[in-house]
Amino acid sequence: MTFIALALQMGHELKHTLHDYWSRIRQPHTPFYGETMTQDRFLHILCFLHFADNSQRPDQGEEYNRLWKLRTVFYTLKKAYAKFYYLLENLEMDKGNVKFKARVIFRQYIPQKRKYFCIKIYILCDESGYTYGMRMNLVNDSHSVTDTTATQATARHMTCKVEDLGHTIFMDNLFSPPRLLDDLDRCKINSCGTVRSNRKDVCGLKQIKLKRGYVRLKTRAGLTALVGKYRREVYMLNNMDPPSAEGNFCDNTNHPMKPHSVQWYN
């Protein structure tokens, strides 16, 4: 329990390396860690920490889960996060990259990122920053075959506990196909997010050419698609609000003003 407490505290007090938490150098010195546990003892537990019996490895059948070594503790944390906290109204759904260089089959290599060897985790949090739900990307892990995309299935799985509560979810272009926003609308979840202009189910937005400060809209059945020109084109979808006006959004000084949906997203 002391080890877990130190690990949680390290998340609130980031240092350059693990050894810096026990450093005696005056600048980074933090007596709390050395008084609680020695560095050698902490590293010894970290080296041999294990949550599953290797002899009980499940067969790679339909129920096989690549997270089986961490599944118990991961799901325990996930359940506790949702049980002991009441969400604020505005939520965000995004992905986070956890730096990880050891050998694991679902580790990813993303050269464009600073953490180029990482494990990708999808996160649902509210405006205070509290993590309410999370799901690890296990990369081609077995899952049931449905007519939805993997991203849409992930988003629906993470939002199932906030249905019919009137929350508003903001997403980036990874999570915002029109079909997902339609599903969220049927579950009484407001949503707003950027969208990629080349999605096959977002037709006609990329062909719209605008001057700086101009906004065009397309609507259908409660869903609004918006394209605006600022430094570059911005494409957005939302089911939150009746469509605002379109046209020139520049003020008297020719400075472009943002529509409500863009302001909410920012």
Task: Give me the pLDDT at residue 145, please.
Answer: 47
**What is the chain's mean pLDDT, rounded?**
82
Domain of residue 120, residue span: 58-142
Mark whether 34 and 81 lie in a shared domain: no
Mark whether 186 and 250 lie in a shared domain: yes
Q: How far is CA 18 from CA 14, 24, 102, in A?
A: 9, 13, 16
Task: Give me the pLDDT at residue 245, please.
Answer: 63
Asked if 138 and 67 count as a contact pair (C-beta separation under 8 A), the reply is yes
Per-residue pLDDT at 34 exceeds 90: yes
Mark whether 94 and 23 lie in a shared domain: no
The larger pLDDT score, comparing residue 103 to residue 123, is at 123
Asked if 88 and 128 count as a contact pair (C-beta separation under 8 A), the reply is yes
Asked which of 84, 118, 142 is the last residue of a domain, the reply is: 142
Task: Give me the pLDDT at residue 10, please.
Answer: 92
* Per-residue model confidence as pLDDT tens digits over 202-253: 666 666 677 777 777 777 777 888 887 777 788 888 887 666 666 666 655 5
Q: How many domains does the chain have?
A: 3
Phi/psi of residue 93, each to 5°? -120, 125
Asked which of 142, 172, 192 is the last residue of a domain, the reply is: 142
Mark whether 165 and 254 lie in a shared domain: yes
Task: Give me the pLDDT at residue 38, please.
Answer: 95
CA nearest neighbour of 163 among 129, 126, 197, 190? 190
Q: Give 37's DSSP letter.
A: S
Question: Model-level pTM?
Answer: 0.77
